[in-house]
Amino acid sequence: MALTEVSSNKVFGGYQKVYSHDSKEVGCSMKFGIYLPPQVEQNKKLPVIYWLSGLTCTEANFIEKAGAQRYASVLGVIIINPDTSPRGLNIPGDSDAYDFGVGAGFYLNATQEPWKNNYKMYNYITVELQNIINSNFEVAEGKQSIMGHSMGGHGALICALKNPGLYKSISAFSPICNPSECAWGIKAFTGYLGPKETGSWSDWDATELVKKYNGPPIELLIDQGLDDKFLSEKQLLPENLIEACKATGVPAVLKKREGYNHSYFYIASFIGEHIKYHVDALLK
């Protein structure tokens, strides 16, 4: 598939690039960021970490705010960060709210009109984008991990739980852990999947997926700022996921960060710790 380089900036010895391409899965032009650390110049096949961003974000937020390049440069890992939804389709109602439609794809495959032909971010992340990366860049076969934030944390969790063995490790900052039970998730799932009784919501909810997980052991690393207003507003519900993990024996760690909120200031404070966690798993 043809890629168009949108931008390239040298940073910490490597290159932060953005590419665009025509996506068959979502039916529009999509962008993704890729950080290529200096080790690529040694013709090494490097491990990959995918980052999924949250509501309202594009590929730019993580690139500009997380500070991940410094750590990826030292540890020799490629980081991929896609956009959060299709864009430019002008589907009626797709830009009416920040938490549904553009910027809010929720990393699922929609089944309802008018969304089902384009809002297939799950297929885009786990199949199409992965094939693009594997075909165009020097990546180590089978050496990939996934992480994300908020809606993207939800996306990282479900991508890993629905594809046992695909990712070597998983972590999430302030993820939407039980979307079937929070306002954000109920709105998105109703619109994209239909009523709860008929919409297979449990197939896209990490707390429900944990209950039926049957694959290689994988630890869920959940990072949560305790001053996060969305935690107190019951949008994130990490306790539900941790309880489900305990009940089913899926390993999980919940790191509680005193004084931190939902912002990229919080992410930047601990992104190095997460990248190291993933690289340790990828190099085993």
Catalytic residue numbers, as ranges: 150, 228, 262
Rg (C-alpha) for the chain, rounded Å, is 18
112: helix, strand or coil: coil
Other residues' Cβ atoms within 10 Å of the Cβ of residue 116: 13
Which residues neighbour 249 within 8 Å (Cβ) at sequence distance 6 or greater?
Answer: none
Give CA–CA dist 82/230, Å, rounded.
24
CB 12 within 8 A of CB 76: no
Q: Which of 251, 257, 260, 256 is nearest to 281 (CA)?
A: 251
Q: Which two tokens stand for residue 26?
A: 């979502």
